[in-house]
Structure 1
Amino acid sequence: MRRIGGFLLVLFIAIATTTGVAFLLYRNELGRLRDAISRGSLVANLDTGPIEYADSGAGIPLLSIHGAGGGFDQGLALAADLVGEGFRVIAPSRFGYLRTPVPKDPSLAAQGEAHAALLSKLNVPKAVVVGVSAGARSAVELTLRHPDKVAALILIVPALYPPTSPVSIDVIRGNKFAFWAVNAGGDFAWWAAENIAPSILIRFVGVRPALVAVAPQAERDRVMSFVRSVEPLSRRLSGINIDSTPELDKLPLEEITAPTMIISARDDLFNTLPTAEFAAAKIPGAKLVVYDTGGHLLVGQAQEVRTAVRTFLAGAGVITSSDSPRQVLPH
């Protein structure tokens, strides 16, 4: 009995020590993340309400609109990964994300107006507009409502109106845990899963873990950087709630006049391909690029996407060169 009691005591001490160390690591990481999102952005007080945004780089203005779980930081990272250098990147935090509050009217139409108001506030008459995932919704609203402000529209894995097959993610066992963590705004739960079972979160963000496992190290790092960019989850929960219950009306896509490019992947676990194909068929002259693999984060395709985007912008007369963009040209 003494041996059993001694073993249990040692086990208890080991568990307590491990838990204490884990909690300390979590507190330090959370503090670092909160410090990171407190820097690098400004808040514009617009008629539509306060909007947090980052304004980085020099060159052609590019409005980078993040997806669900994002913020200005994700907008900057996505622009760097999928578009590349040579642009002045304006990356707002959409309604409910980080320092942008939820307004009385959180509709997609209101978000599109907020994008337009931010560009006007920054004296940007026209910009390339990139909408990723759920960010594609307000990118389209902006383009329809203020066509004069959009030099070109690029929709990447767009979560738009689904004509037949809805944009969604399977509610499998691992995803149920991730859904619970998100709905609870659980910073610790997300952090723990990231460190103990990252494959759960990789699948939750729309990518097959097996694809990431065989990807080059740089791509594995990019995927995990995206997963970490959702932290602190509690600071993005209000925006996630808005994105989770959108009113996706059928929009008059045929009225879009801006040069448009749409990108998706066949193995996107969010099932954005049918929506991408539908939008490309409706938008006059839209260019559709579909990759066989890559998932929702276009794993392994980042360089190809950058090349395709810059070639498209050069072909549309928006930039002077796909290698070294220098100016927005009039249409």
Structure 2
Amino acid sequence: MSRIVAFLLVVLIAMATAIGVSFLLYRNELGRLRDAVSRGSLVANADIGPIEFADSGVGIPLLSIHGAGGGFDQGLALAANLVGGGGFRVIAPSRFGYLRTPVPKDTSLAAQGDAHASLLSELNIPKAVVVGVSAGARSAVELTLRHPDKVAALVLIVPALYSPTRPVAIEVNRGNKFAFWAVNAGGDFAWWAAESIAPSVLIRFVGVRPALVAAAPEAERIRVMTFIKNVEPLSLRFPGIKIDSAPELHELPLEEITAPTIIISARDDLFNTLPAAEFTAARIPGAKLVVYDTGGHLLVGREQEVRKAVRAFLAGAGVTP
């Protein structure tokens, strides 16, 4: 009996030690991530209220509007992936509720579009290339409709926009229910733990088939996991995610958009952005639609093709670094 008790004590001590080590690792990692997002950005006192943003590079102004779970840091990374190299001055705002941009009384997509315009005016930027990714495409379109003079060209990537037939959505399964729970709880530890214990759950939650990532080159696997890791600190992005989770999507007068436009999506995007991309492209005069058979919501394995397509589009629109 004493041997059993001793064995159980050893097991309990080992478990407690493992939990303690894990918690210390989590605290250290969360502290590092909080420190990272506390640097590299500014806060503009725009006429509509404070707006956090990053301002990087020299050249043609490019407004990089992040998707759900993002912030200025995601906007910078997305711009680097899309255009690469130099020649652009990237302005990457944190949308309402993300990081240091507070939640205003009016969180509508129209208000978000006005916020982008206000930021550009505050920075004395008369016109910019506007890039909207995923949920960020919504306010990018509103900006283009409401302030057309400020948009030199419009780039919409895997756009989470309105579709009259097949709306953007994520499949409901056990893994996604867990991820939804973690997000809705603002659960930093749950998200952090899942990165190591069940990364495939988070990969699927961000709209990509895990098998696609597993078969991708190492650089792409690192890019995907870096994207997932940089959702942390989740608690600092949760107010914005909450706004993005309940959008009031409806048909917009897209035919009024005059800015040169390119829209890019993938057939296997688990968020089902292709119907919205097709609907939007059909209604914006002269819009170019690029569709990849594979790539998922993060366009895995398509980085070079996307960059080439965007660069060629901008050159055709007369916007070259």
Q: What TM-score range do you get, normalising by the shorter chain?
A: over 0.9
Map 1:185-200 onto structure 2 (within 5 A): 185-200=186-201
Q: CA deviation at 1:114?
A: 0.5
In the alignment, is residue 24 of structure 1 matched against residue 24 of structure 2? yes
Question: Which letter does structure 1 place at the counterpart of 2:208?
Answer: V
Map 1:234-245 onto structure 2 (within 5 A): 234-245=235-246
User: For residue 202 of structure 1, what is the aligned residue in structure 2?
Assistant: 203
Secondary structure of 1:96's match?
Answer: coil
Mapped partners of 1:298, 1:163: distance in 2? 24
Mapped partners of 2:68, 2:278: distance in 1? 21
Mapped partners of 1:91, 1:120: distance in 2? 14
Mapped partners of 1:193, 1:55: distance in 2? 32
In the alignment, is residue 39 of structure 1 matched against residue 39 of structure 2? yes
Q: CA deviation at 1:6?
A: 1.0
Give per-residue Cα distances to partners, 1:291-325, cap 9 Å, x unaligned: 00000000000111000000000011121xxxxx2
Question: Which letter does structure 2 place at the counterpart of 1:44?
Answer: A
Mapped partners of 2:246, 2:177: distance in 1? 17
Aligned length: 320
Mapped partners of 1:151, 1:82: distance in 2? 17
Mapped partners of 2:107, 2:138: distance in 1? 13
Mapped partners of 1:316, 1:163: distance in 2? 29
User: For residue 52 of structure 1, what is the aligned residue in structure 2?
Assistant: 52
Map 1:1-331 onto structure 2 (within 5 A): 1-85=1-85, 86-319=87-320, 325=321
Q: CA deviation at 1:187?
A: 0.2
Q: CA deviation at 1:163?
A: 1.3
Give the alignment's Cα RMSD to 1 decimal. 0.6
Mapped partners of 1:115, 1:100: distance in 2? 12
Q: CA deviation at 1:46?
A: 1.0
The TM-score with structure 1 as length reference comes to 0.96
Mapped partners of 2:137, 2:48: distance in 1? 20
Mapped partners of 2:59, 2:222: distance in 1? 28
Question: Which letter does structure 2 place at the counterpart of 1:138?
Answer: S
Q: CA deviation at 1:204?
A: 0.2
Mapped partners of 1:194, 1:315: distance in 2? 41
Q: Which runs of 4+ in 1 moved over 4 A?
A: none
The TM-score with structure 2 as length reference comes to 0.99
Give per-residue Cα distances to partners, 1:83-115, cap 9 Å, x unaligned: 212211000000000000000101000000000
Mapped partners of 1:15, 1:139: distance in 2? 49
Mapped partners of 1:280, 1:96: distance in 2? 29
Mapped partners of 2:232, 2:163: distance in 1? 29
Same amino acid, percent of matched pairs: 84
Give per-residue Cα distances to partners, 1:172-193, cap 9 Å, x unaligned: 0100100000000000000000
**Mind listing any 5+ residue stretches in structure 2 that lack a counterpart?**
none
Q: CA deviation at 1:206?
A: 0.2
Question: Which letter does structure 2 place at the counterpart of 1:26?
Answer: Y
Secondary structure of 2:297's match?
Answer: helix
Mapped partners of 2:150, 2:22: distance in 1? 48
**Mind listing any 5+ residue stretches in structure 1 that lack a counterpart?**
320-324, 326-331
Secondary structure of 2:155's match?
Answer: strand
Q: CA deviation at 1:14?
A: 0.6
Mapped partners of 1:22, 1:148: distance in 2? 52
Mapped partners of 1:288, 1:169: distance in 2? 22
Q: CA deviation at 1:196?
A: 1.0
Q: CA deviation at 1:150?
A: 0.4
Secondary structure of 2:313's match?
Answer: helix
Question: Which letter does structure 1 place at the counterpart of 2:192?
Answer: W
Question: Which letter does structure 1 place at the counterpart of 2:66?
Answer: H
Q: CA deviation at 1:237?
A: 0.4
Question: Which letter does structure 2 place at the counterpart of 1:48?
Answer: I
Question: Which letter does structure 2 place at the counterpart of 1:59?
Answer: G
Mapped partners of 1:275, 1:229: distance in 2? 27
Question: Which letter does structure 1 place at the counterpart of 2:155?
Answer: I
Q: CA deviation at 1:195?
A: 1.3
Secondary structure of 2:92's match?
Answer: strand
